[in-house]
Amino acid sequence: MNGIAYYYTDSAKVELILTNGALRRYPWHMHTQHWTVGVVSSGTVTVTTETGLKKLSGGEQFFIRPYEPHSLVVAAESSLSVFCAENRNMFSERKDIFQEIVCRLPSLQKQGGSLIRQLDTCLESMLSAEKDHTPLLDKCDSLLYRSVRAVVSVVLENPDKFVSIRQMAAYAGYSQWHFLRAFQKVTSMTPHAFQLLCRLRLLRSMLRADTESAAAAASAGFTDQSHMHKVFKHHHGMTPGQFKRASFRLGL
């Protein structure tokens, strides 16, 4: 494989992303539901979080929690395998999921055992370190955090709707200036950037459902197809059409 491939399952809410060869840059973003584990097979991958920058080479791993902002750069001629699950409990069933994925993907037959062992090692470390982890948005029960949590929930439930800063601030009970500062303090993102990520998540699901591009752009809240293409390529390093062709549904 040379490029990128997304293997996903709707029922188990898991995804395996295999990147190989081409340089890829993923700008500052976060996952609102997914726990993410990555294994660098070869080359160099740079992961940046709020705690700093880490440059990883072959054999090293990383994991990203939900609501943890980060950016990612996969250097040219590098190979990276990423396993995502919406629910941390899914990791306890990972061996069956891994085996099923490997059996279904001829390209993984040779390296499958090694990849599973590497992912397992990283997952064991993560589960041990994170057994008592509480997402940032749930750690503090102050009025500020509760207000931001309420706005985040509204945006997550209505990704196709544009919600202005004024509307968010009014909903949270703050002035626009105070709300903007509060939102960035809690999420490390601007409200606009967060809304955009939610729209992109909706757009990805629609593309995988084979929705026509113009309809998907409109339903996901983009002004037109040109706007959708520009934003999608900036965040994913590929066009929506390329993403559709690189996505493969697994019937697990």
CATH number of the domain to which 244 belongs:
1.10.10.60
Check if the beta carbon of residue 40 is closer than 8 Å to that of residue 79: yes
- Boundary (domain end) residue, out of 110, 129, 148: 129
Q: Are residues 158 and 96 in the same domain?
A: no
pLDDT of residue 206: 92
Q: Are residues 74 and 16 in the same domain?
A: yes
Write out pLDDT tens, residues 13-27: 788 888 888 888 999
Check if the beta carbon of residue 118 is closer than 8 Å to that of residue 37: no
- Boundary (domain end) residue, out of 78, 108, 129: 129
CA dist 127 and 64 (Å) reads 12
Q: Are residues 176 and 115 in the same domain?
A: no
Check if the beta carbon of residue 37 is closer than 8 Å to that of residue 63: yes
- Highest mean pLDDT pick, 122-126, 141-145, 162-166: 162-166
pLDDT of residue 12: 56
Place of tokens 């459902």: 209
pLDDT of residue 137: 53
CATH number of domain containing 101: 2.60.120.10
Q: Are residues 64 and 141 in the same domain?
A: no
Number of domains in the chain: 2
Q: Are residues 12 and 101 in the same domain?
A: yes
Check if the beta carbon of residue 64 is closer than 8 Å to that of residue 126: no
22, exposed or middle or buried, with CB in 10 Å at 0-12, 13-18, 19+?
middle
CA dist 198 and 200 (Å) reads 5
Instruction: Name which residue leads in pLDDT, 149 or 100.
Output: 149
Q: Are residues 86 and 178 in the same domain?
A: no
Is the pTM higher than 0.95? no
Q: Are residues 19 and 82 in the same domain?
A: yes
pLDDT of residue 203: 93
**Amino acid identity for residue 109 in this structure:** Q
Write out pLDDT tens, residues 140-150: 557 778 888 88
pLDDT of residue 134: 55
CA dist 195 and 203 (Å) reads 12
Sheet holding 24-29: strands in order across?
24-29, 70-74, 44-49, 52-57
For residue 211, give its domain range: 137-249
Percent over 90 (pLDDT), the chain: 29
Average pLDDT of the chain, as a whole number: 82
pLDDT of residue 14: 80
Q: Are residues 34 and 112 in the same domain?
A: yes
